[in-house]
Amino acid sequence: MHNEEIFGKILQEERKAKKVSQEKLAKLTGLDRTFISLIENGKRSPSFSTILKICSALEIEPSELFSIYEKKDPDYRVKKGGKYGK
């Protein structure tokens, strides 16, 4: 599973847990419903500002969303001393 697919699945789970339809999320964020669907299906990568809009509408902290991502992506690792160094 790719990064976009994992993130999309998490977003969908969080949206459904809050009992918010894609249509309602679209209205709350000013985004198109089909764009939200594409994000949830891993077909599009949202920008940071889009992620912030979605988090605000779902009343979830962006850090919480990314924390869930870190736990669900088996390939995610924080690399210390790597290319970007100290």
Domain count, the chain: 1
Give the length of the chain: 86
Structural domain includes residue 15:
yes
Query: Are the C-beta atoms of residues 68 and 10 closer than 8 Å to each other?
Result: yes
Name the one residue in this structure whose structure tokens are 């690399």.
Answer: 79
In a domain, 77, yes or no: no
CA distances from 38 to 22, 41, 78 (A): 11, 5, 28
Enclosing domain of residue 44: 3-72
Residue 19 lies in a domain: yes
**What pLDDT, on a 0 to 100 scale, did the predictor assign at position 50?**
97
Asked if the structure places residue 81 within a domain, the reply is no
Structural contact between residues 4 and 43, judged by C-beta atoms closer than 8 angstroms: yes
Kindly state whether residue 78 falls inside one of the protein's structural domains. no
What CATH number is associated with residue 36?
1.10.260.40
pLDDT of residue 76: 76
Sign of the dihedral through C-alpha 52, 57, 61, 63: negative
Q: Is residue 80 part of a domain?
A: no
Which pLDDT score, from 0 to 100, does residue 10 have?
A: 96
66 lies in a domain? yes
* pLDDT recorded at residue 85: 44
- Mean pLDDT by groups of 10 residues along the chain of 86 residues: 90 97 98 98 96 97 93 73 47
